């Protein structure tokens, strides 16, 4: 679904991504793990186009075949099926849940029937939101806001979702609910590239994982293999697989 090849990104004169390469299969959940400052969020921003690539290639599998999206603006990448949920969630706090979900939906689904069908897909995955439609985003709990941020992307029918730190700031119970939602996205055929500080939780829902440090991918493998390789997790992330707190 997504191929990232030899990606280089700069912030001013600072070289922050050094030849990052990774793949996400159709309907797969892939974890991108690393310490703070490793370059994980920058990788997601480069894939959606919020920061420019200075080298490398980004390709998305579309119904017409592989498409080079390296130099497309973010809105064109979104139209091709790349969804993005940032670390801060970025819901509109003064808009209701219904209005947050309708942002961008009128353009994608111009008829009332099409809009209703798109909303129904989101409610199938997050049924609790159906009872919160008239509540403003600012009064939702952290977990509800994260569900809303995911649902807002989901109504746009993405082929892949870039998900940045979805469990950040949530209680263990709500974090578990968010990770279960990630699993359901994969089962629904939507690929997910998951950046998450809780290494154990991410690898439990992922099929494959990449370990990142100082702007490069240092190790990759199946989630099961990474969970079993405590020495590598400790070396790159600074934690053992059994540390639920994830990378510092």
d(CA 7, CA 4): 7
Whether 113 contacts 144, CB under 8 Å: no
Q: How confident is the model at residue 74 (pLDDT cuts 50, 70, 90)?
A: very high
Greater confidence (192 vs 104) lies with 192
Q: How confident is the model at residue 214 (pLDDT cuts 50, 70, 90)?
A: very high
Whether 156 contacts 105, CB under 8 Å: yes
Pairing verdict, β 55-62 and 2-11: antiparallel
d(CA 179, CA 85): 14
Greater confidence (65 vs 114) lies with 65
Distances (CA, A) of 61 to 44, 66, 74, 81, 116: 17, 4, 16, 9, 27
Q: Is residue 68's pLDDT more than 50?
A: yes
Q: Is residue 212's pLDDT more than 50?
A: yes
Res 246: pLDDT:
39
Res 126: pLDDT:
84
Res 169: pLDDT:
79
Q: Is residue 245's pLDDT more than 90?
A: no
Please name which of 46, 44, 53 lies closest in space to residue 86, comparing C-alpha atoms: 44
Give the H or E element holding residue 217.
Answer: strand 216-222
At the topology level, CATH places domain 2-91+158-236 in Rossmann fold (3.40.50)
Please name which of 69, 71, 93, 90 lies closest in space to residue 81, comparing C-alpha atoms: 69
- Concatenating the DSSP letter of every residue in 9-69 gives EEETTEEEEEEEEEEE-TT-EEEEEESTTSSHHHHHHHHHTSS--SEEEEEEEETTEEEE-
Res 221: pLDDT:
95
**Residue ranges per structural domain of the chain:** 2-91+158-236
Q: Pinpoint the alpha helices (H) of 68-171.
A: 74-80, 97-102, 105-108, 112-125, 142-154
For the chain, give the percent of residues with pLDDT over 90.
50
For the chain, give the percent of residues with pLDDT over 70.
94
Please name which of 9, 16, 15, 100 lies closest in space to residue 57, comparing C-alpha atoms: 9
Q: Is residue 107's pLDDT more than 80?
A: no
d(CA 125, CA 116): 15
Q: What is the pLDDT of residues 127-149, one digit of tens each?
A: 888 889 999 998 998 888 888 99
């Amino acid at each position: 679904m997504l191929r990232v090849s030899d990606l280089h990104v700069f912030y001013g004169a600072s070289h922050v991504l050094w030849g990052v390469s990774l793949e996400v299969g159709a309907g797969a959940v892939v974890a991108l793990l690393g310490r703070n400052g490793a370059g994980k969020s920058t990788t997601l921003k480069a894939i959606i186009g919020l920061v420019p690539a200075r080298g490398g290639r980004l390709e998305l599998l579309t119904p017409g075949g592989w498409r080079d999206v390296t130099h497309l603006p973010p809105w064109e990448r979104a139209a091709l099926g790349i969804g993005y949920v940032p670390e801060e969630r970025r819901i509109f706090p003064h808009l209701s849940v219904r209005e947050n979900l309708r942002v961008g939906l009128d353009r994608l689904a111009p008829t009332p029937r099409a809009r209703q069908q798109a909303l129904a897909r989101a409610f199938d995955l997050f049924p609790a939101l159906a009872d919160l439609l008239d509540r403003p985003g600012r009064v939702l709990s952290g977990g509800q806001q994260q569900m809303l941020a995911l649902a807002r992307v989901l109504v746009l029918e993405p082929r892949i979702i870039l998900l940045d730190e979805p469990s950040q700031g949530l209680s263990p119970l709500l974090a578990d609910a968010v990770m279960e939602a990630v699993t359901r996205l994969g089962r629904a055929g939507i690929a997910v590239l998951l950046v998450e500080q809780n290494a154990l939780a991410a690898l439990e829902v992922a099929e494959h994982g990449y370990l990142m440090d100082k702007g490069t991918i240092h190790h990759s493998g199946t989630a099961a293999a990474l969970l079993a390789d405590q020495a590598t997790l400790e070396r790159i992330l600074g934690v053992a697989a059994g540390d639920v707190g994830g990378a510092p």
